Amino acid sequence: MEDQSPSGYKRNDGLARVWRAMGYSLAGLAAAFRGEAAFRQEVLACALLAPLALWLGESGPERALLLASLLLVLIVELFNSAIEAAVDRISEARHPLSKRAKDIGSAAVLVAILAAAATWLLVLAG
């Protein structure tokens, strides 16, 4: 008999769950790359800046800060894209709350970019 959760559904744990989660994650990255120009631009910026981060950082923590600030921009852009997709799924009609959600997501990306720029400035100005 298969392991079942208290709700009666088949349990989804162990390596099979990790494997499925990895597939969903890769599908999400691919969807963002295909469908979001901003994400593609930020991936390109990361691809160009990551080697510089490794070269310009003078210590492990500095390199980690420089790289993490780049990855933070990608993470926030993924959340922003998810918010936009969910809002558009609900309705493409103009609504003040839809605009607010999209504007706040966009603001989060801007804050992440500013944080990355400040991190690079502070680390490199050392």
Euclidean distance between CA atoms 92 and 49, whole angstroms: 36
Nearest to 78 by CA among 24, 122, 125, 31: 31
Question: Is 42 among the catalytic positions?
Answer: no
Number of domains in the chain: 1
User: Is there a contact between 80 and 109 (Cβ–Cβ < 8 Å)?
Assistant: yes
- What does each of the 126 residues of the chain score in pLDDT, given as a tens digit? 455 566 666 667 788 999 999 999 999 999 999 999 999 999 999 999 999 999 999 999 999 999 999 999 999 999 999 999 999 999 989 999 999 999 999 999 999 999 999 999 999 998
Could you tell me if residue 120 is inside a domain?
A: yes
* Maximum distance among all Cα pairs of the chain, rounded to whole angstroms: 63
Could you tell me if residue 48 is inside a domain?
A: yes
Could you tell me if residue 79 is inside a domain?
A: yes
Which among 42, 58, 77, 84 is annotated as catalytic? 77
pLDDT at 29: 97
Euclidean distance between CA atoms 76 and 90, whole angstroms: 21
Could you tell me if residue 99 is inside a domain?
A: yes
Could you tell me if residue 27 is inside a domain?
A: no
Range of the domain at 51: 37-125
Euclidean distance between CA atoms 1 and 99, whole angstroms: 50
pLDDT at 8: 62
Could you tell me if residue 2 is inside a domain?
A: no
Q: What CATH code is carried by the domain that includes residue 97?
A: 1.10.287.3610
